[in-house]
Amino acid sequence: NAGVTQTPKFRILKIGQSMTLQCTQDMNHNYMYWYRQDPGMGLKLIYYSVGAGITDKGEVPNGYNVSRSTTEDFPLRLELAAPSQTSVYFCASSYTDRGRTEAFFGQGTRLTVV
């Protein structure tokens, strides 16, 4: 199993551009999450999904959109990129929402908006 795979690993965007961060998992997990991590800070939840066709906002959803058309994929869309969106983005998945379940994280996408 590859686990959680994120692409690209690095990206530089100009202000106002748009892009999609890709996330795919091969563990058949129902739950998927997008986090951002600013330098020296903890992870903040952007969006999450409890299954195909179902998504919901996390702590910091403004400026982002998501979709979940399949169990495997959970892309994160940035529209009109702003310097405040410069961050490292992590995708994660878990197979249930129960308290005894661990989450598996991707290796991150480092995004710079200039």
Partner 1 sequence: DAKTTQPPSMDCAEGRAANLPCNHSTISGNEYVYWYRQIHSQGPQYIIHGLKNNETNEMASLIITEDRKSSTLILPHATLRDTAVYYCIARNGGYQKVTFGTGTKLQVIP
- Beta-bridge partners for 47: 34, 57
- Asked if 100 touches partner 1 (CB under 8 A), the answer is yes
- Contacting partner 1 (CB under 8 A), which of 27, 43, 52, 60? 43
Query: In whole angstroms, how close is the CB of 74 to partner 1 at the nearest point?
Result: 13
- Asked if 97 touches partner 1 (CB under 8 A), the answer is yes
Look at residues 112, 24, 37 and name the one whose alpha carbon lies nearest to residue 72. 24
Helical (H) or strand (E) element with 92: strand 87-94
Q: Which stretch binds partner 1 (CB under 8 A): 11-19, 28-36, 60-68, 78-86?
A: 28-36
- Asked if 99 touches partner 1 (CB under 8 A), the answer is yes
For the chain, helix, strand, coil in percent to 5 are 5, 50, 45
